[in-house]
Amino acid sequence: MSATRRRPQAGGSAFDRGLYFLPLGGCGEIGMNLYLYGVDGRWLAVDFGVSFGDENTPGVEVVMPDPAFLEDLQDNLLGIVLTHGHEDHLGAIQYLWPRLRCPVYATPFTAAYLRLKLAETPFVSEIPVTEMQSGGRLSLGPFDLQLVPVTHSIPDAQMLILSTPYGRVVHSGDWKLDPDPQLGRTTDTTALRAAGQDGVLAFVCDSTNVLEPGASGSEAEVLTALETVIAGARHRVAVTCFSTHVARIRSIARAAHKAGRHCALVGRSLW
């Protein structure tokens, strides 16, 4: 048997009035985050990420969401707002932006990381990247965006509070409640409480392992463990981590220094 998926139509009366949430990737999966919000025919994309191939996709290294729906509504696409700098939230821009040619909005760290990736493309000078301040506000068409700083394994991560004529939506991005994150700000729970008191129509929330019981550990606990392990090792120590986990890299360096060791970065992504 074979089947074809019916492609949603961007234009027409179906989306002319009302508030819509349409995920093109990221829901029910880890990675490839691409979420659309529509208000009266005007659209905003939140994140534009990739996922990675595995043993089920031999020869495939990067998997990206299908941008065909976005191409259909290109004239009404206000831009792409990035919540943070991880590959699964911005990695598709360097491949697919020429098919959309819309503005991109990001906080300073995320924008700097994106520009490094875009330097490898022929359109680096064409793409308009506008920096937003962490915790700031941005108005795009019918959307009034408030950025809410959150703790994550990369600096400058933000939740988004999207106020529209039809109600307020909170889009979490990736987040964590860590009282001692070692680098970056703690999650701005005051802003989230204020949004809740004002009324929220929907909370679009992403939290890996949310169904696991218990609480997530603090990055401060990781630092303590690293100090113990590195100080107790007799020979060379190799520690692996994500290159964007700047707080973890800092903790590794601090633990090495405390033990009287020298720390070396190995690998292109880390450099």
What is the residue-averaged pLDDT of the chain? 90
Residue 209 has what pLDDT? 77
pLDDT band at 208 (very low <50, low <70, confident <90, very high): confident
Residue 56 has what pLDDT? 83
Tell me the per-residue pLDDT of 50-99, one tens digit each, with 9 for 90 and over.
988 888 888 888 899 999 999 988 889 999 999 999 999 999 999 999 99
Tell me the per-residue pLDDT of 257-269, one tens digit each, with 9 for 90 and over.
999 999 999 998 8
Which amino acid is present at 36? L
Residue 6 has what pLDDT? 44
pLDDT band at 5 (very low <50, low <70, confident <90, very high): very low
Question: Alpha-carbon distance 40 to 184, whole Å?
Answer: 37
pTM of the model: 0.88
pLDDT above 70: residue 101: yes
Contact 269, 117 (CB under 8 A): no
- Strand ranges in the chain using DSSP code E only, listed in sequence order: 19-25, 34-39, 42-46, 51-52, 62-63, 77-81, 104-106, 129-131, 137-140, 143-149, 158-164, 167-171, 202-204
pLDDT band at 13 (very low <50, low <70, confident <90, very high): low
Contact 47, 173 (CB under 8 A): yes
pLDDT above 50: residue 135: yes
